[in-house]
Amino acid sequence: MGVVKTTIVIDEETWNEFKKTVSSRYGSLRMTSLAVEEAIKCFNAVELLKGFSDAMGFVTSVYPSVREVQERRPKLGTSAGEEVRGMRDERQARLSGLKRHCEEVC
């Protein structure tokens, strides 16, 4: 695989912050190209997954598609919205009961 030289346009403040990060991480700006390449790989989900798989020692060359991942997700028997509503209603009932109790005692 070869290398590519490119020109990009970046906000000056963003670039200066990135250079500070590179300098503090690597000790100089000589590794800026490597840092940009690492940042691009982290932005690319496939490269990020490949790097993680390599680091963990997983042996794989084919990753499932987004559709396959969605199809394989476990299906829940309830709605998250219904669960949250139930918890909020229970909390409201508890707080209302405490408020009535305080009014009776005070």
Q: Is residue 61 pLDDT above 70, yes or no? A: no
CA distance 38 to 22: 11
Closest CA to 32 of 18, 48, 47, 14: 18
| Rounded mean pLDDT, 75-100 | 86
- Sequence-distant (6+) residues with CB within 8 A of 18 are 10, 35, 39
Band the pLDDT of 20: cuts 50, 70, 90.
very high
Mean of the per-residue pLDDT values for the chain? 85
CA distance 60 to 66: 17
Band the pLDDT of 10: cuts 50, 70, 90.
very high
Which pTM value belongs to this model? 0.44
| Rounded mean pLDDT, 19-46 | 89
Give the per-residue pLDDT at 101: 67
- Sequence-distant (6+) residues with CB within 8 A of 26 are 34, 35
Q: Is residue 6 pLDDT above 80, yes or no? A: yes
Q: Is residue 63 pLDDT above 80, yes or no? A: no
Domain ranges of the chain: 1-63, 74-106
CA distance 87 to 48: 37
